Amino acid sequence: MSTQRIKTPCIGLCSTVYGDIVCRGCKRFHHEVVNWNAYDEEEKRAVWRRLEILLAQVMAAKLEVFDAPLLRQQLESRRIRFVIEQSPYCWAYQLIARGARVIQQLEAYGVALLPEFRDRPLPELRDAIDQEFFLLSEAHYERYIAPRFLLEGMDLRV
């Protein structure tokens, strides 16, 4: 595995250049993508943390990480990049995102699908996870970010 620290959530599939408010690749908001290099460490950590919480929520509803040290060892031996400070559920996402087409026994990685997802092919599950993560990010934007932008643009003096 690369010893370089992952410095941005970007995965090289940016859709904000096409007008999306939430990037379909990394799930950051448009303004976060645009301003990322100007953010201080605290602002970057806040974005990373929100993405971690949303992704871990989606993953925990689909699978169980029953052996985090084994998962970490497998990711490292296969040179799959992951953010070590994040939840093992985020690590599991990286594993499935990179290896969905080749993984035969998910349990060999310290991960088990919940019963209702065991019959789904991993590539299909990966796509469903990615879509749910995107929808959750969009909902978060609509609930917590968009109203603030709307209010900032309004003159509330009547």
- pLDDT reported for residue 150: 60
Report domain extents, the chain: 16-140
The set of residues, in sequence order, having a beta carbon less than 8 Å from that of 147 and lying 6+ positions away, is: none
100-148: per-residue pLDDT in tens?
999 999 999 999 999 999 999 999 999 999 999 999 999 999 998 887 7
Handedness of CA 64, 68, 71, 75 (dihedral sign): positive
Question: With contact defined as beta carbons under 8 Å apart, do 47 and 40 qualify?
Answer: no
Helix (H, G, I), strand (E, B) or coil at 113: strand
Question: With contact defined as beta carbons under 8 Å apart, do 14 and 23 qualify?
Answer: yes
Distance of CA 15 to the CA centre of its chain: 15
At 84, the pLDDT band (50, 70, 90 cuts) reads: very high
Give whole-number Cα distances, 100 to 106, 120, 127, 152, in Å. Answer: 9, 11, 10, 43
What is the percent of the chain where pLDDT is above 70?
91
Mean pLDDT of the chain: 90
At 151, the pLDDT band (50, 70, 90 cuts) reads: low
pLDDT, mean of residues 31-49: 95
Question: With contact defined as beta carbons under 8 Å apart, do 10 and 33 qualify?
Answer: yes
Number of H helices and E strands in the chain, helices first, is 6, 2
Q: Point out which residues pair with 113 in neighbouring strands.
A: 63
- pLDDT reported for residue 41: 95
At 47, the pLDDT band (50, 70, 90 cuts) reads: very high
pLDDT, mean of residues 61-89: 97
